[in-house]
Amino acid sequence: MTEVANTKENIAIDLDIGGTFTDCYVSFDGGYTIGKASTTKYDVSVGALRAIEAAGENIGLDLADLLDQCTSVSYATTISLNTLIERTGPKLGLITTEGFEDVTLVGRARSWVDGRQPEEIRNKATAQKPVPIIPRDMIAGVNERIDWSGEIIAPLDKQSVIDQVHRLVDKGAMGFVVSLLWSFQNPAHELQVRAIIDELYPEKYLGAMPVLLSHEISPTSGEYPRTMSTILSGYMHSDLAHDLRSLSDELRARNYTKPILLVNNTGAVSKVIKTPALNTYASGPVAGLLGGARLCQEYGIKNAVLTDMGGTSFDASLVVDGNPRHYSYHPVIENFFVSLPMLEVGTIGAGGGSIAWVNNLTGRLEVGPQSAGSMPGPACYDTGGREPTVTDADLILGYINPDRFCGGKIGLNAERAHMLMEAKVAGPLGMDVAEAAAAVKLTVDGHAGNDLFKNIALRGLRPEDFAVFAFGGAGATHAVGYTSHLGAGGPIYVFRFSSVFCAFGSAVSDISHVYQNDRLMVVLSPGANDPVLDASAFNNIVDGLFDQARKGLSEDGFNPSDAVYLLELEMRYGSQIQNTVVSSPVLKIDSEAHVKQLADAFSEQYVALWGPGSAYPAGGVEINLFRLRASIPSERGRLPTRKLGKAFPGDALLGTREAYWDGSYRATSVYDLDRLKPGNVVTGPVLVESDTTSLPIPAGWECRIDEHESAVITQC
């Protein structure tokens, strides 16, 4: 994994800042190394520098030298989610078209269930719409109107904008969101509003106001999701910008001179200056999905479920037929329906920091969704945590080495974990502490396993056809438990960098720009299904997207001819509301044959998603949105290939430790994952551990090290 040297070629640093840990993956020609540190929420740059420093120590470079030789730093995070959860963002004003001030308050018919858990939805008596980010008194309508085609019907009344802006500032607005009707067809009025605000509050003064325009954040139809996308991006903007400025300042003070890159929800990596805050909402899990897709290519695996159990959450995503691009085009973020293409990653509150508690109403054990996070953390961290967690249960069961957790940098207090598990769980349930800890592990494994099963089966796929990739600090520890719910005996893959897998995913992500145009075009007529697509209009839109892509790549210092281009179309049958994403088989329409080829690609994709007989050709076929992805492929993150040796793993044996299996503690052999060599095989019950993770292998399962130095767990 690592080799000590004073210089390395093409060093790149990738960070994933989560709610509990900050992970670092450093790649260079010929290898990689990893580092890990607790997330410091008061200033994320502190934890980030500690993680980078830990990685540098592995290759003999101090922090300044590592950053001096580094060619890029990429950043993925879910930390900005806390701004929404805790409602710590700035007070914003919303400027919209007069008469449409209540769009975000009315929402849509399903607003009261968007993002809710099943038990919340069933309890209709307490159901409520989400509390608006911008209340009614901070929403202002201005006199203007543009129609659906982009034609100006009523010009913008400048004085009405001035009056409303002054009113909102007097009420405490610290920034503005502007979302006018049909601005994605013609942004002229939104641009004028920003110019007026900039004139009133110029950037040179401390009172300058940030202004976000809806046509720049989400240039799509649908007033409510477009406006909410812009509001959420504006609300997250300040905190994320502060974190990035802090990290950038600290890096530059230590010799780093290049830009910081951000992983975003569409699976792209782009410069900070070109990334809206909302696009980073789930960038950490998305980076993990991209990393999993790369490894599927390396292994020749067709279908894989990617599982990430960290300190706070359990994320699951799919690679199907080698393709990670299962998009949620109208995801729900903090109970708000938004218009934002985002690679689909399911998340539940089931991580190492998830709190175990007894429900007083039912008398049942519950695990999560509350989490101890990094501060105060699990009880065994001995940093003030007063609730038992999944990590405490794993420690009590003997699955975690208290002296080696996080490379020995976090000493674990087993007595405190035992005391709180007894007081909060074992005592109320009438169990001994070991039984309670086993019940906690069984419960969290069941939550994660059931979530996996639904994630696969509800798409009409067979769970037993999927390999499982286990990553995150707790993923390997619980992988056998939650994989058992899929009805399959593996294989489960645990990589040497699994504990920092999302940072690895950032390393292998392509530099990408995404451009789109929301335009309705009929491809096949209803009933007769005649080709009626306007080839000239289609080609003009695609040519325009290519012009934007080439310009953007050139501005970022890339050669447009080196890029890989993918044209995606959102298509639907006539009278449908929902769209289906199709990779266009053609970039230019020159004949009716091309039109039919496009329609056939849509039908094939539709049937693949919804099953035989689901097609509705009588409705005709429409294009609703054009999206062009321009990517510079990454060549980093290739796995090493080693010669397979003997199966006997004796050189890696560390000794024995008492661990809990099937109702009792047993002396269990412990092997060092870093010393296991390709070809080695260990059979359960056995413990395999490293500085960053632990693999409890139960009876009936075995773990072998493959030619890529990965641990592959299967049933015997």
Tell whether the model's pLDDT for residue 5 goes beyond 60: no
Tell whether the model's pLDDT for residue 495 goes beyond 60: yes
Beta pairing partners, 712: 493, 704
The pLDDT assigned to 579 comes to 84
> Letter for the amino acid at 638?
R
* Least confident range of 102-116, 261-275, 616-630, 671-685: 261-275
The pLDDT assigned to 667 comes to 96
How is residue 561 written in tokens?
């001819």
Please give the Cα distance from 142 to 159 (Å, whole number): 9
Q: What is the mean pLDDT of residues 411-418?
A: 92
Average pLDDT, the chain: 87
Q: Torsions phi, psi of 344, nearest 5?
A: -80, 120
Q: What is the pLDDT of residues 133-152, one digit of tens each?
A: 999 999 999 999 999 889 99
The pLDDT assigned to 678 comes to 94
How far is CA 6 from each of CA 1, 65, 458, rounded to the nearest angstrom?
A: 16, 9, 52
Spell out where 245-285 has E strands.
260-263, 269-271
Angle at 527 between CA 523 and CA 530, to 5 degrees: 40
Please give the Cα distance from 375 to 82 (Å, whole number): 14
Tell whether the model's pLDDT for residue 4 goes beyond 60: no
Q: Is 29 exposed, middle or buried (0-12, 13-18, 19+ CB in 10 A)?
A: exposed
Half-sphere exposure of 648 (CA within 13 A, CB side): 2
CA R_g for the chain: 27
Tell whether the model's pLDDT for residue 245 goes beyond 50: yes
Torsion of CA 233, 235, 236, 238, to 10 degrees: 120
Please give the Cα distance from 295 to 126 (Å, whole number): 45
Q: What is the pLDDT of residues 391-406, one digit of tens each?
A: 999 999 999 999 888 7
Please give the Cα distance from 446 to 561 (Å, whole number): 49
Residue 647: partners with Cβ closer than 8 Å, 6 or more residues away:
679, 680, 681, 704
Domains of the chain, CATH where assigned: 11-83+242-280 (3.30.420.40), 84-241 (no CATH), 283-336+461-508 (3.30.420), 511-632 (3.30.1490)
Please give the Cα distance from 102 to 92 (Å, whole number): 16
Write down the H helix ranges in 74-157: 81-86, 103-106, 118-122
Please give the Cα distance from 660 to 602 (Å, whole number): 53
How is residue 635 written in tokens?
């060549």
